[in-house]
Chain A
Amino acid sequence: MIIYPKDMNSVKTYIRGVFYGLFGMLAAGCEDFLSEKDPSNFNRDNYFTQPSHAEAVVTAVYESLYPMHARQSWLITELRTGMLGSTSSADGGFPNFALVRTLKMSADHPSVEAIWESHYRGIGNANMAIQEIPGIQMDETAKNRLLGETHFLRAYYYYNLVRLFGPVPLITSPVDLGSADLYPSQAGPDEIYQLIVDDLKQAETSGLPFTSTSGRVTLGAVKALLADVYLTMAGYPLQLGTAYYQLARDKAKEVIDQGAYSLFDSYDAFRDPSVDNTGEYIFMVQFHETEQPSDALQYGLTPFKMGISRYASEQGFSYAERQFVESYDSDDIRARERVFFYKEYTAELDRTQPVLFNQYYTYKFFDEQAHLETARSGLNWQVIRYGDVLLDFAEASNELSGPDEDAYEAINQIRRRAGIPELSGLSQTEFREAIWRERHHELYYEGKVWFDMVRTRKAFDFVNGTFNDYVGHPFVTGETLSERELLFPIPTAEIRNNPNLIQNKGY
């Protein structure tokens, strides 16, 4: 028997309500109920509608300038010049620099992965910007400038990639799950350089200002980078020769003739965040004392755990080999204590107490205030400075027709600041080697010298002051450069995840 409730109507009403509710929801609301929108993030379908969106995507392209510097990944090139030793013990999060210095690094090294991954992310954002910005309704002048900056940055990222890794995938449009480019093959260096030149030429005509203190890409930066690219194209691996020395010289001359840049009077400026983006600097990675500190650079400059700095993490990433420091002219200001190098400092706990080091550490970019007081540095990292342009110009000129007056003036500007005798009356060969030596001495610890060594296939013998062929050149510590060291390995993970890639020889 059914036990009927006293008030059947109310029960029936309730039950009917439940059923209607149940099946009403079933019939009507399912799709709506299951449609969830991401409230925190845009997606590609609902973005790129306003001018501010164009600016934002270009900002994202810039951000990829950081990872190479956040953990000093760029040091892998400098540690292949023989100029640097390393006392770093670090592993795990920090790259194991001793393996690079001893030429034992493998494709597992975290620095190559960091560089590869961040550069391609920058390229991915640039490709998206180049595809999406033209469709945004906005002021055409501003639009062109943003596109110009993007093309510059894409060219810069590819320029690093092709020099570090040789043949790399050439991705020029956004990739999705269905793209053929998801598992790309490598493109030849010639194709990659072609894109770099095309991008820079496009940037050159995009209405960028010649200089700016904002930290954004300028026309000066575009031309200076183009000069450097041409110089590299003239040398290895493309060996395009004279025509490209001519292009390099002309482009460098455009920068010089503009008169917008000049060398700093003192090397102190390299350590002074307040002159960032001015004077000698053409293009810099922008840091900020608190918002984006460049602390890894600073604690990488200290010896390993000697108690000299407010930074707790004194890393000792690298030191200068004694023979390299001794290869400077004895009058060279740059080799003096606390100019490019330092061998002693004071103890953190007692600043009257000297602390002596066993090696020469790098003082060139030592932000004193950060080490003494704040443990925070906003010092920018220079990518292109006027000194590079002068040296590029002098080298390209010399390759075309031997040293001329302009070429001497270019290198002598640098030598005068260093307090060493001006050059004159050299043969083309002597001048060439003088330039190369000067590049070592001037561009030390800037991540540029190894690129010079590879494009010239020459290495500096610190002790004799002469130049050896790159392959077979012995470091003062005994290791010998081989063909393998002309390129860096493609990161293991990338080789694993893309069966179409071929690893560089020897890794």
Chain B
Amino acid sequence: MKYEVYRKVYRTMKLATFLLMAALVQASATGYSQQVTLKGKNLSVTDIFREIEQQTGYVFLYNSKDIRETGRVHVHVSDLPLNDALARCLAAFPLTYRIIDSEQTILVKRKGNTSTVPPEEPIPVSQTLVRGTVTDTTGLPLPGVAVQLKGTNQGTATDMEGRYVLENLPEGAILVFSLMGYKTVETPVNNRQEVNLVLHEDLARLDEVVVVGYGTVQKSDLTGSVGTVDEEALQERPAATIQQSMAGRIAGVNVSQNSGRPGGQAMIRIRGNSSITGTNDPLYVVDGIILNVANLANGTSPIDYLEPANIKSIEVLKDASATAIYGARGANGVILVTTKRGSRSGGMVTYDGYLTVGRLARKVDLLNAQEFLRVEEIAYQNAGKYGLGAVTPDPKAKRTDPRLFDADGNPLYDTDWQEEGFQTAFSHNHQLTFSGGDANNSYAVNLGYRNEDGILLTSSLERYSGRLVVDTRVNNWMTAGGSINYSNQHESHPQAVGTGGISPTRSVLQALPITPVRYPDGSFAKTLDYPGMEGGDHPVRLVHETSRLLEGTNMLGSAYANFKLAEGLELRTTGGVNIIQQQVKSKAGRDLQFISDNGQAAISDERYTSWQFENYLTYRTSFTGNDSFTGLLGASWQRVSRFGSSVTAEDFLDDYFGYNNMGVAANPRPPVSDASAYSMNSYFARINYSIQQKYLFTLTGRMDGSSRFGAANRYAFFPSVAAGWRLTEERFMQAIAPVADIKLRSSYGVTGNSEIPNYSMVTGLGSYSYIFNNQRITGIGVARMANPNLKWERNNQFDLGIEVGLFKGRVLLEADLYQRKSNGMLLNAPVPTTSGYASVVQNVGSMKNTGVELALHTLNINQAEFSWNTSFNISTNRNKVLHLTGGQDIVQGTNPVTGLRIIREGEPVNSFYGFIQRGTWGTAQADEAARYNRLPGDIRYEDINNDGAINEQDRVIIGNGEPDWYGSLINSISYKNFELTLDLQFMYGNDVSFDTRGTSLDRVGITNVLSDVLNAWTPENQNTSIPEIRPVSAYLDRQSSSERIYDGSFLRGRNLLLSYDLPSAWIGRIGGRQFRIYASIQNFFLISSYPGYDPEVSSSGGNFSQGLDLYSYPKARTFQLGLSFGL
């Protein structure tokens, strides 16, 4: 397990030693002697290199393939010069070497290797010297790049600043620059004195090291399905949250940005939904620390507090082979986050910052002032038809207020509330990092400040973050380290999540176009200034007279120690603590329609304390015949506790005080507090066995125990088995030239889900109250039905994958086919309320997810100054409920107006459920309409069973929020120092339930409504789904039906980014390492037939809320300018 070691170091693992030691050279090159003393038995080549490097400061440069299987020797060398010592030590090895004194480097090659040229071959000399700097695409200097004269053994390597000098060049010399993990570049010198170069990362990352749970593994040896988002990809899309960073990067991982609010509100589904009541969110693990806390206030999750700038890479574990090591919590996939560690190559300072400007990307069509008044008049004219003629006042009679109407009753204002309620949002973000260290110690300090405004008035997010990380090699057998992440976040969310009440986004749609924001005297216009109007006040008044602030502090600390117990045997001890404190403060002024009569304020506090303690042993060994074995055995303890409290006060004399002085309220409400905790105890093991690097096997098992289950079902075992076959290692494949690598892999395993409420196995009592003698008295009564037989939800997952690399890695294809079956689905299932309870957590049945994922990376053009690569991924997931206990449907949601969802055997889980609307009743169908107690002009729902009543039996499945297909297409083109990234996102076949339509069409004449109402039924316009305009007191009949279900397929221009790296020569002159500027447009176009703001939406969060759009917070189109530099 090597979380603490740089992934980048791993990527260039075969040069790792060099890198570490080069740092040492930098630090104290003069402190080394040229004499070598070396004694030992059974030393490997690397042991010898390490010792010599430590003693001399010289660095060995070699390809690890060359030193593989070179055996071991006994060595006894005392005080010999370097050259002699080397000769003695390496005599028994099939190696040649060359010492380059000027660079303090020793190049080592295998004897007989065709690329190896015998040392000291005479070279014709003409040009004397060339120098230059090698950087990566981000402008960071690349140390350790081998710079070789083509066709010779003459060469050098770049130093820590990426600089090299090569002397004694022949005529027509061609330089070859190579570095593991990067594409090799050849360039003729052409008499240049300086050759600077940018190395592009090699797409064929077969030597890449992938972080898996409790360890790392070479990508080529992986038997599971694991997706990676690396540092460069993260850098392409500067974002506020990790979800934004990884969206669209990995096949099978559906990241939905469901809200435009600052900080976003994303839903991540890995290979679909597996659970109904349990969570479908993946498990997040940051540097080995599991983020246990879930469901924070306002829909946030602890991962939202991790500053993306600190993230080195993200790995997503998708199949059971990969996730089973997390057993009971692996069912929804696991997201492993590896953070940046300190530098091992001297001090560095980097700064990243950007500015953004966001604008509402799309408007919905609403009535203007004239239309609004006309609709009100039509309603009045139709009142008689509904028996309301006598009781409905003529609206024209009330248009007398001189503030709103002229003498003829014409409106003075025509306010566009989408203009008034939304703003141009300015944001900026700054991240400053200092890092440093040497071969044995490293540290990094990050300071961050983020200030984001939302496009909704007063919505904002401000975050201060700090991070300190230290790693140290205590001695030869122990390394240790730790990190502390701290963040303090202030959010203003005038829009509460998941409410249909009077929210600013609702008010934007419903505020009256005939009222202004303010009257000339400066006072806010009120909705009731025009009598008979319903609904809240206009959005500007709302956000000024209410507030909702979320303040959160998150501390994530971890420490580890690694002990090398014997050759190949390591013990790792880790401990982690995550403390989250959140406070939500809200207030509302006096006299706000539907919100507060006398003023209200509330403060709620929540504190989560989560700790984790894990110990595990890892043993790695190799056998003759190229077989290797890695074993892992460990144990884990975790506990999460929560404490919450809240106070509310009502009846303020003045709006001034709010939550800042609740004591002045006349009516403090009873305080509330509650506490709960759960604990887990787990044991896990894994065996990786590789035969000749051809046949790969992985066995994983984890036993989890959780306090959430009754004693009988407390522990469960989650095993998995996987195998891989690297076809290209077979002799018969090696003749096929363009094929670089083919691997087949397959896995089967079991994972679980235990995310249910605590204490579900006992009958819980809850508190009640009643007034006796004019005092509130507390009672205790039924609250939670017990289910002592509650068990884990188990997911059985099968995966078949193929990885193909073609044309030296220029085409990489990865495809997976999977099926996972959830058994014992946990559901907070409704029970008949005659029991006194509404629901009980049960294991209710099984369902299946089947899917295909395909990812394709191609390097279309690969030249030194021009390259173009493409990433495409597409995924599909089909869900089907196989079995429900008792067989009967389970309907979720209780309010048919705002929407129902159904779980039915044979259908996708939680489909939208409702009536089918067949337009409106026509005058020719008056008799038929009467059978249903309806009039021509009323909504016509289909009577499925034709029993003469529209009732539950007529509800059917009307849609599903999950897409058939989704994916991304990302193109990057770099030319010289410019890079252009075009990032497209698509989704196909997902339905959106535009629930906003219910209340935004019905409240005709009492609020503003969608302009669709202009197409309402009239005797002349009968072919419409919009019922006749009538006073609202007639009756409202709109229920969740097919009428509000829309195809939510879309194509989005997610990001268009242009960046420019200043030439390193310029930067070098001012002492810098890199300097990059970029500009981007996010969400730069959206193609969709959906009439709402955005079809990628979930207004409530929670399971199966994808595609529910009820007054959602629209997404912005964001323009960004950024800058990063390193010194």
- A63 adjacent to B759 (CB under 8 Å): no
Select one of B680, B759, B1036 contacting A91, CB under 8 A: B1036
Is the CB of B894 closer than 8 A to any CB of chain A? yes
- B567 adjacent to A57 (CB under 8 Å): no
Select one of A22, A45, A290, A493 contacting B763, CB under 8 A: A45
Which residues in A have their C-beta under 8 angstroms from that of B571? 15, 18
Is the CB of A77 closer than 8 A to any CB of chain B? no
Select one of A89, A375, A493 contacting B597, CB under 8 A: A375
Select one of A110, A128, A304 contacting B781, CB under 8 A: A128
Is the CB of B951 closer than 8 A to any CB of chain A? yes
B828 to chain A, nearest CB (A): 13
Q: How large is the interface on A (under 10, 10 to 19, 20 to 34, 35 or more residues)?
A: 35 or more
Is the CB of A36 closer than 8 A to any CB of chain B? yes
B398 to chain A, nearest CB (A): 10
- B838 adjacent to A56 (CB under 8 Å): no
Closest to A26 in B: B635
- B677 adjacent to A36 (CB under 8 Å): yes
Complex formed: what's the CA distance from A215 to B775 in Å? Answer: 10
- A15 adjacent to B563 (CB under 8 Å): yes
Interface set, chain A 89-135, CB cutoff 8 A to B: 89, 91-93, 96, 98-99, 102-104, 106-108, 110, 113, 116-117, 120-121, 123-125, 127-128
Is the CB of A497 closer than 8 A to any CB of chain B? yes
B772 to chain A, nearest CB (A): 5
Closest to A60 in B: B781
- A63 adjacent to B678 (CB under 8 Å): no
- A42 adjacent to B765 (CB under 8 Å): yes
Is the CB of A417 closer than 8 A to any CB of chain B? no
- B782 adjacent to A128 (CB under 8 Å): yes
Query: Which of A174-182, A255-263, A429-437 contacts its partner?
Result: A174-182
Query: Which of B528-536, B729-737, B1043-1051, B1058-1066 contacts its partner?
Result: B528-536
A249 to chain B, nearest CB (A): 32
B569 to chain A, nearest CB (A): 9
Select one of A1, A63, A288 contacting B779, CB under 8 A: A63
Complex formed: what's the CA distance from A108 to B1040 in Å? Answer: 12
Is the CB of A41 closer than 8 A to any CB of chain B? yes
A121 to chain B, nearest CB (A): 5
Is the CB of B592 closer than 8 A to any CB of chain A? yes
Which residues in A have their C-beta under 8 angstroms from that of B1032? 89, 98
**Known contacts A30-B705, A214-B772; A41/B764 CB under 8 A:** yes
A63 to chain B, nearest CB (A): 4
Which residues in A have their C-beta under 8 angstroms from that of B594? 312-313
Query: Which of B36-44, B269-277, B850-858 contacts its partner?
Result: B36-44
Which residues in B have their C-beta under 8 angstroms from that of A498? 832, 834
**Known contacts A177-B840, A310-B597; A287/B677 CB under 8 A:** no
Is the CB of A266 closer than 8 A to any CB of chain B? no
Select one of B759, B776, B1039 contacting A288, CB under 8 A: B776
Is the CB of B1037 closer than 8 A to any CB of chain A? yes
Is the CB of B770 closer than 8 A to any CB of chain A? yes
Complex formed: what's the CA distance from A309 to B477 in Å? Answer: 79
- Main secondary structure on chain A at its contact with chain B? loop
Q: Encode B1009-1047 as 1/0 by CB contact (under 8 A) with A.
A: 000000000000000000000001111111100000000
Closest to A116 in B: B833
Which residues in A have their C-beta under 8 angstroms from that of B898? 92
Interface set, chain A 403-440, CB cutoff 8 A to B: none
Complex formed: what's the CA distance from A98 to B392 in Å? Answer: 14
Select one of B533, B666, B836, B1039 contacting A174, CB under 8 A: B836
Is the CB of B771 closer than 8 A to any CB of chain A? yes
Select one of B393, B478, B895 contacting A358, CB under 8 A: B393
Complex formed: what's the CA distance from A177 to B1101 in Å? Answer: 30
Complex formed: what's the CA distance from A89 to B533 in Å? Answer: 10
Is the CB of B681 closer than 8 A to any CB of chain A? yes
A80 to chain B, nearest CB (A): 14
Which residues in A have their C-beta under 8 angstroms from that of B934? 104
A105 to chain B, nearest CB (A): 9
Is the CB of A447 closer than 8 A to any CB of chain B? no
Most chain B Cβ neighbours within 10 Å, of A93, A177, A286, A304: A177
Residue positions of A touching B, CB distance < 8 A = 1-6, 11, 14-15, 18, 22, 25-26, 30-31, 33-36, 38-45, 47, 53, 56-63, 65-66, 85-89, 91-93, 96, 98-99, 102-104, 106-108, 110, 113, 116-117, 120-121, 123-125, 127-128, 168-169, 171, 174-177, 179, 181-184, 213-216, 286-288, 290-292, 304-307, 310-313, 316, 319, 322, 358-359, 374-376, 378, 477-478, 492-499, 501, 503, 506-507
Q: 6 closest A-B pairs (Cβ-Cβ)? A: A124-B836, A60-B781, A59-B779, A375-B597, A89-B1032, A60-B779
Extra inter-chain contacts (16) besides given A61-B781, A128-B836, A290-B667, CB under 8 Å:
A1-B40, A15-B563, A15-B565, A26-B635, A39-B677, A40-B674, A43-B762, A59-B777, A59-B778, A62-B779, A65-B770, A311-B597, A478-B387, A493-B891, A495-B952, A498-B832
A–B complex contacts, Cβ < 8 Å, 21 sampled: A15-B571, A34-B707, A39-B677, A40-B674, A41-B765, A44-B762, A45-B763, A59-B769, A63-B781, A98-B1032, A98-B1035, A104-B1035, A108-B951, A214-B772, A215-B771, A288-B774, A305-B1006, A306-B532, A307-B528, A313-B594, A498-B832
